[in-house]
Amino acid sequence: MRPQIIVTIDGPAGAGKSTVARRLARALNYRYVDSGALYRAVAWQVRQTGLNPADAPALEHLLQDFRPVIAAEVQDFRLTAGGRDITREL
């Protein structure tokens, strides 16, 4: 079995991380995953439910049931929550 390699790119907002990551994924034929979108998806779900972000027990309950679906390909990353594609909203 071939070892799996994961490449991560970190930096400040607007530095070009996504652009470089997509190009690198294309060049290496790797999947592109926008990990920041996962964090934003949680915030999106909190907003959708109207929860107070400071209510830790409510957030814990929310996260137990929150099951976003990730579709990651070489050049495409999609995130779906509750059967709805929320990628553009993030």
Query: 0.85 cut: is pTM over it?
Result: no
Q: Over its length of 90 residues, how does the chain's per-residue pLDDT go in tens digits?
A: 777 888 889 899 899 998 898 899 889 888 888 888 888 888 888 998 899 989 999 999 988 888 888 887 766 788 888 888 888 888
**Burial status of residue 41 (CB atoms within 10 A of its CB: 0-12, 13-18, 19 or more):** buried
Q: What is the spatial distance between Cα 52 and Cα 31, in angstroms, rounded to a whole number?
A: 34
Q: What is the spatial distance between Cα 50 and Cα 18, in angstroms, rounded to a whole number?
A: 30
